[in-house]
Amino acid sequence: MNKKQPQLSNAFQTFLNEAPQQAGAWLEMVQGLDKASALDKKTEELAYLAVLAAVKMESGIPFHVQSAKKAGASREEVISAILVGLPASGHKVIQVLPAAIDAYDAA
């Protein structure tokens, strides 16, 4: 099986290319928060998918689905993470479900 690298959205790739100083500062902050987290990588990625779904940030879904899968998340866990916010956020979380499933199945 060919393991693909998680794909970055066009917007994020543009951010990295066009604003390297800001992107570097932002990435340092993200890495610091990652180190400070008490969550294991799989749980952290699944939680982040729930947040992305709640705010309808579909562009980040493929990257983080692939990261969750790499950390050992099953397809069912990814789907459950997307849908966990359904009671609080409403049906808008289902908007990212097709992108999540496509990303999981493609990886």
Computed over its alpha carbons, how large is the radius of gyration of the chain?
14
Residues 79, 29 share a domain: no
Reply yes or no on whether the pLDDT at 107 is more than 90: no
**In-domain check, residue 68:** yes
| pTM (2 d.p.) | 0.85
pLDDT tens digit string along 19-30?
999 999 999 999
On average, the pLDDT of the chain sits at 92
Q: Examine the domain organization and report whether 34 and 61 are in the same domain.
A: no
Considering the domain architecture, whether residues 32 and 82 belong to the same structural domain is answered as no
Is 66 in the same domain as 107?
Answer: yes
For 106, the domain range is 39-107
Is residue 2 in a domain?
no
CB 35 within 8 A of CB 73: no
pLDDT digits (tens, 9 = 90+) for 67-105: 999 999 999 999 999 999 999 998 999 999 999 999 999
Let me know whether 47 and 89 are in one domain: yes
85 & 96 share domain: yes
Same domain, 34 and 47: no
Task: Examine the pLDDT at 55 and tell me if it is beyond 50.
Answer: yes
Residue 88 burial by Cβ neighbours in a 10 Å radius (0-12, 13-18, 19+): exposed
Who's near 83: CB < 8 A, 6+ residues apart?
53, 93, 94, 97
The number of distinct structural domains making up the chain is: 2
pLDDT, residue 8, reads 80
Distance, in Å, from the CA atom of 49 to the CA atom of 72, rounded to the nearest integer, reads 14
Q: Are residues 53 and 76 in the same domain?
A: yes
Q: Which pLDDT value is given to residue 6?
A: 60
